[in-house]
């Protein structure tokens, strides 16, 4: 190795250490007993509650226990609706840069697929609009 090859090495190590310290600082854990403006729905088999908190979807066994976070990232996910076979969850999200399109989460693979590639949002795409058609704000159907 010559001197030119070794010069960038300290800078690269500094970047790696800085990136690793940032990664460690991004984990946040907390317990709460109250959430404001959460969307809640129950799976058709009545085994799971799907709810939103801090813009993400979570799943909680109806019998009680620990919740499981289903969606991640810098997105705002809301209005979950579980498919009749309990295999998928449709939800509204801004993950494509829109003001809110419909996405589907496959629970087995954890793959999220966009359903409405429009800038107009969710109007007319088969999910009940829980804010208008259901005063309790609980999504009611998958069509």
| Per-residue confidence (pLDDT) for residue 29, from 0 to 100 | 72
CA distances to 39, 97, 140 from 137, rounded to whole Å, are: 7, 24, 9
Question: Does residue 48 form part of some domain?
Answer: yes
Question: Percent of the chain, pLDDT > 70?
Answer: 62
- At 22-43, the pLDDT tens digits run 555 566 677 777 776 789 999 9
What end-to-end distance do the CA atoms of the chain give, in Å? 65
Tell me, yes or no, whether 104 lies in a domain.
yes
Burial (CB count within 10 angstroms: exposed 0-12, middle 13-18, buried 19+), residue 60: middle
Q: Is residue 2 in some structural domain?
A: no
List the structure tokens of 87.
């295999």
| pLDDT tens-digit series, residues 59-103 | 999 999 999 999 999 999 999 999 999 999 999 999 988 878 999
Query: Does pLDDT of 119 surpass 80?
Result: no
Residue 34 inside a domain? The answer is no
Residue 28, in any domain of the structure = no
Expressed as residue numbers, the domain containing 57 is 40-133
**Does residue 112 have a pLDDT over 70?**
yes
Domain count, the chain: 1
Percent share of the chain, pLDDT over 90: 48
Residue 38: per-residue pLDDT:
83
Residue 24 lies inside a defined structural domain of this protein: no
In a domain, 55, yes or no: yes
In this structure, the number of other CB atoms found within 10 A of the CB of residue 85 comes to 10
For the chain, the average pLDDT equals 74
The reply to whether 13 falls in a domain is no
Neighbours of 34 (CB within 10 A): 5
């Amino acid at each position: 190795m010559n001197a030119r090859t070794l010069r960038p090495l300290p800078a690269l190590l500094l970047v790696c250490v800085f990136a690793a310290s940032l990664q460690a600082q991004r984990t946040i854990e907390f317990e709460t007993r109250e959430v404001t403006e959460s969307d809640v729905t129950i799976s058709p088999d009545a085994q799971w509650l799907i709810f939103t908190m801090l813009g993400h979807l979570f799943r909680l066994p109806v019998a009680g226990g620990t919740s499981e976070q289903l969606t991640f990232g810098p997105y705002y996910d809301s209005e979950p609706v579980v498919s009749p076979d309990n295999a998928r969850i449709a939800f509204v999200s801004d993950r494509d840069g829109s003001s809110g399109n419909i996405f589907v989460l496959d629970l087995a693979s954890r793959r999220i697929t966009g359903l409405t590639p429009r800038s107009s949002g969710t109007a007319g795409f088969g999910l009940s609009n829980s804010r208008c058609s259901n005063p309790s704000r609980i999504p009611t159907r998958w069509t």
